[in-house]
Structure 1
Amino acid sequence: MPWSPDRRLLAATEPVRAAASAGALALAYPLLRGAPRGEPHGVLVLPGLLASDASTMTLRRWLRGLGYPVVGWELGRNRGPTKEVTDELPRLVRRLADQHGGPVSIVGQSLGGIYARRLALRVPGQVRQVISLGSPFGLSGGPADDSPGARAYARQRHLQAVPRGRGGLGDGLPVPSTAVWSRWDGVVDWRACRQASGPTAENVGVLASHLGMGHDPAVLWLVADRLAQTREGWQPFRPPARLRALYAAEPDDA
């Protein structure tokens, strides 16, 4: 799918808009103090393509402040599904589940969210829920588009151990899942970041840029709310009235 002029403008302004989200976080912090807190359990946060744990520092610090034992992936820069990544991630999830006495929640940004969904299929007994942030899993198993994210992924393909055509990820998972998308995403097509809705599968729209999702106030509240859900009583997300303007309405064709 060709990347339209409007989408190219969004891509060019990604860094500026990501910085704006950081500024909004400072202003919104007093409101975020009332974010939900749930049962402490292990949380794994996975970075996006070409990013490292440094890119998820704000998100991990936020979740740690809410009382969750949270870790990054500690595999350096994310260059795609290399053999090291595909071998080590299931082991890491199992270790965390054993260490914390139960399944872990996985929060993945962009490509990290695709990993998270694959992990829910590979080791469902060790995964409590999946939260993907701007993750174009709808393209998995299909032809690539012309987005900046797809082009960057293609440049790393020689390092990757998993063929692109390996299975779609847009259908239901065996665990609760929340897919976060944004029409203002300048890196990937927001439509590919949505899943088929179901009793434990939802899509939530935000107004953030792709690069800014990890420190956007609406996303931080959403992640806190999702992690506070009990394993037996998961319910779809309902934004609080004071923050409702930070979330996007469902598309007309949803």
Structure 2
Amino acid sequence: MALNLDAKAPPKTALFAEWPRAAWSLGSLPFAWPELMQAPRGDGRPVLTLPGLVNSDLSNIVMRRYLDALGYRAYRWELGRNFGPRAIGTEGERLFERIAAIHAETGEKVTLVGVSLGGIMARVAAHRHPELVREVITVSSPFAGLPTATNVWRVFELVSGQRADDPAVRAFLEEAATPLPVPATAIWSRTDGLVNGEVCHEEGGEDAAHGARSIEVRSSHLWVQMKPEVLRAIAETLGRDAS
């Protein structure tokens, strides 16, 4: 699919509502945990979690503990805070090496679960190394639009050292937007206050080589990876073919 060049950032009203919505969602997590544990059991496959912009592995600790509790082997990315190329290397080599190391350790292809910018990186990794990647799940990842379709593009420029209109950024996003050679699921929200939800999923359903799915949720962007509805969607996606 082509990049959506016309997508705009969410309105300021949605941006200002991010913190209270995120806090409400986080507060509901303990009450939802018993129901979350009714999700399909895992089959021990390795799952690598990739954090969003500026975030570290700590941001995905709830997701990893949940996946471990279900019976998967959840891995940290171990690349520090996600500052774009500064974290994964100019060509993504540090991320690819991390995926390869997990593949070598487990003898299995690795499922990638990426949040926001981490999901964009996961899609590029799957394109470049499909022999290492089993499946990609993105969570609120604006892989099908320009940085200006978000309310954080200036933060991206500041921490990554790249301009939003840098041809290298455009090429990276075009690669991420291309249908994947492995199964892909995009979890997204049209009420997201930081990124335009319309650029967080593929249009047209089953248009990738191995099929692409999208799951719409109602969520803020902040702490979306800890929202019970999102955790359940990840577990059910993984559980489709768990043995």
Aligned to 1:96: 102
SS at match of 2:63: helix
SS at match of 2:112: strand
Aligned to 2:4: none
Q: 2: distance between equivalents of 1:166 and 1:151?
A: 19
Query: Which of the numbers 131, 137, 144 marks the counterpart of 2:137?
Result: 131
Aligned to 1:190: 197
SS at match of 2:85: coil
Q: 2: distance between equivalents of 1:212 and 1:157?
A: 21
Once superposed, what is the RMSD of the aligned Cα atoms?
2.2
Q: 1: distance between equivalents of 2:149 and 2:63?
A: 29
One-letter identity of the residue aligned with 2:76: G
Aligned to 2:169: 164
1:152 aligns with 2:155: yes
One-letter identity of the residue aligned with 2:183: P
For residue 158 of structure 1, report the CA deviation from its aligned partner: 1.7
Count of matched residue positions in the alignment of Structure 1 and Structure 2: 227
Give structure 1 stretches of 5+ with no counterpart. Answer: 234-254
Aligned partners of 1:25 and 1:217 also within 8 Å: yes
Aligned to 2:214: 203
For residue 162 of structure 1, report the CA deviation from its aligned partner: 8.5
Aligned to 2:3: none
Q: 1: distance between equivalents of 2:28 and 2:171?
A: 39
Query: Which of the numbers 227, 230, 236 marks the counterpart of 1:225?
Result: 236
Q: 1: distance between equivalents of 2:179 and 2:191?
A: 25
Aligned partners of 2:79 and 2:87 also within 8 Å: no
Q: 2: distance between equivalents of 1:54 and 1:193?
A: 23
SS at match of 1:131: strand
Q: How does 1:175-186 map to 2 (within 5 A)?
A: 175-186=182-193
Please say which of residues 150-159 and 197-206 is displaced more in the overlay: 150-159
Aligned partners of 1:39 and 1:230 also within 8 Å: no
Aligned partners of 1:79 and 1:159 also within 8 Å: no
Identity %: 37
For residue 155 of structure 1, report the CA deviation from its aligned partner: 2.1
Q: How does 1:15-94 map to 2 (within 5 A)?
A: 15-82=19-86, 84-85=88-89, 86-94=92-100
**TM-score, with structure 1 as normaliser:** 0.83
Give structure 2 stretches of 5+ with no counterpart. Answer: 1-6
SS at match of 2:213: strand
1:149–1:48: structure 2 CA closer, same or farther, 3 Å change rule? same
For residue 189 of structure 1, report the CA deviation from its aligned partner: 0.7
1:84–1:200: structure 2 CA closer, same or farther, 3 Å change rule? closer
SS at match of 2:186: strand
For residue 159 of structure 1, report the CA deviation from its aligned partner: 6.0
For residue 25 of structure 1, report the CA deviation from its aligned partner: 1.5
Query: Which of the numbers 176, 181, 206 marks the counterpart of 1:174?
Result: 181
1:19–1:99: structure 2 CA closer, same or farther, 3 Å change rule? same
Aligned partners of 2:18 and 2:193 also within 8 Å: yes
Aligned partners of 2:67 and 2:235 also within 8 Å: yes
